[in-house]
Amino acid sequence: MKKIIPIVVLIFIFSCQGSDTYQGKWKVMDAKGNKLFIEFQTNDFSIYDSLGKNKNYSYTQNSIKYENSIKTYGITLEDGRAYKISFPTNDKNVAIILNEDDVKLFSLHRNRHQSFEEIYSLY
């Protein structure tokens, strides 16, 4: 029984960390077409504007969902705001970030700035 408890604790700790799928650097467009950059780390991320100014946020991952070949990760910021990072079918180079009400906030691409319309065509 004593060996089971540390394993359960480790599983819980690692389930709160961000997925490797979305960690790293992304080119981002917001709903207004502004070009930004975002970098996800294990427990935090930074958003950079076109002038290089950045804001940092701590987060935990709280869910993973598969539906109609779309993989969606749920994250919660330290202030309680919740977001979804959604990937279209089997493509790990593009994603969108939605808020709790499914409002589109950011389109993400690993290599170029891409609009929501271009990414939605992949869904």
pLDDT digits (tens, 9 = 90+) for 33-75: 999 999 999 999 999 998 889 999 999 999 999 998 899 999 9
pLDDT digits (tens, 9 = 90+) for 73-100: 999 999 999 999 999 877 789 999 999 9
Domain that residue 47 falls in: 4-120
- Would you state the pLDDT for residue 12? 41
Predicted confidence band at 7 (pLDDT cuts at 50, 70, 90)? very low
Predicted confidence band at 122 (pLDDT cuts at 50, 70, 90)? low
Q: Residue 95's closest CA among 26, 45, 9, 7?
A: 26
Could you give the C-alpha distances from 20 to 23, 50, 101, in angstroms and in order? 5, 25, 25
Q: How many domains does the chain have?
A: 1
Could you give the C-alpha distances from 120 to 11, 45, 89, 103, 110, in angstroms and in order? 34, 24, 11, 13, 16
CATH of the domain at 30: 2.40.128
